């Protein structure tokens, strides 16, 4: 029988994380580095990414390669795939974490449905779904070589509709493009799970609302609707990431782990 320490170890493995310098990305990166994985850290901002790679390398004594890529641009995605193949030569774990989440001042985004724009819809689909498809496809050869694991990050809004009562009296929005793209990620993962098996496992993580300084009214309503009586914290994703990235989940594929404090259990 294999011991748990061996099953949970990522020594000698390489993990690529998109959106690595963001909130969830940083947490995931630290968790995988602590388990011994070498990292390929992908994000749009070069200086922030380089500083973070140094932070990871210094703290966990693992290699961390920073690669700049705007996932909205197909040429940059193709270059990323080529660069990893040439410079790293192997890949065991792919985490598609980067997401187009927009901002309150982005035109046609966090507004009433009638005012949401096709242009912004296309941008969200490009980053949140098309880029995921292309990276899974482009890295599949490397991942097949050593029983790879793909982890796609969706959202509770990829499986549920929004409760608009939470948004009353706030400037927050919940665009259709975000929901559709994240729903697409979850279904793409299921499709890939049966298509890439038995060589590659493909699973989804769907986080709930993460506390990031939202308006007090929104937080209050969200907490009251959540059985665990709080919003999610970044560190709440660590257990699921460790499970799906390691051999602890060697017989798990096509699943969607929902981390929402019971939000979807009502």
Catalytic center residues: 178
Rounded Cα distance, 198 and 190, in Å? 13
Q: In what order do the strands lie in the sheet with 256-259?
A: 64-68, 38-43, 14-18, 93-96, 149-153, 201-207, 256-259
Peptide bond into 33 cis (omega under 30): no
HSE at residue 194, side-chain half, CA atoms within 13 A, is 4
Degrees (nearest 5) of the Cα angle 160, 107, 177? 25
- Backbone angles phi and psi of 144, in degrees to 5: -65, -30
3-state secondary structure of 254: coil
Q: Give the three-state DSSP class for 250.
A: coil
Of 131, 123, 176, nearest in space to 153 by CA:
131
- 15, 40 contact by CB (below 8 A): yes
């Amino acid at each position: 029988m294999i011991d748990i320490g061996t099953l949970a170890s990522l020594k000698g493995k390489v993990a690529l994380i998109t959106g690595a310098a963001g909130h969830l990305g940083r947490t995931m990166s630290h968790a995988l580095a602590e388990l011994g994985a070498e990292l390929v850290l992908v994000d749009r901002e070069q200086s922030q990414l380089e500083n973070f790679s140094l932070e990871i390398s210094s703290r966990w004594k693992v290699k961390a390669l920073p690669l700049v890529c705007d996932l909205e641009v197909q040429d940059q995605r193709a270059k990323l795939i080529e660069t990893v193949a040439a410079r790293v030569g192997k890949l065991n774990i792919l985490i598609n974490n980067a997401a187009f989440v927009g901002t309150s001042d982005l035109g046609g985004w966090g507004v009433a449905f009638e005012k949401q724009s096709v242009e912004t819809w296309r941008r969200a689909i490009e980053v949140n779904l098309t880029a995921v498809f292309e990276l899974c496809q482009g890295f599949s050869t490397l991942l097949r070589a050593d029983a790879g694991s793909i982890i796609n990050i969706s959202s509770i809004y990829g499986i549920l509709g929004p409760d608009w009562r939470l948004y009353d009296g706030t400037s927050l929005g919940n665009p259709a493009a975000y929901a559709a793209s994240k729903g697409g990620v979850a279904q793409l993962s299921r499709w890939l799970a049966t298509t890439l098996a038995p060589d590659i496992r493909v699973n989804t993580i769907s986080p709930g609302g993460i506390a990031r300084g939202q308006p007090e009214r929104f937080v209050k309503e969200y907490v009251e609707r959540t059985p665990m009586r709080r919003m999610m914290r970044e560190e709440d994703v660590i257990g699921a990431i460790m499970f799906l990235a390691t051999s602890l989940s060697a017989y798990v594929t096509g699943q969607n782990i929902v981390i929402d404090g019971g939000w979807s259990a009502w």
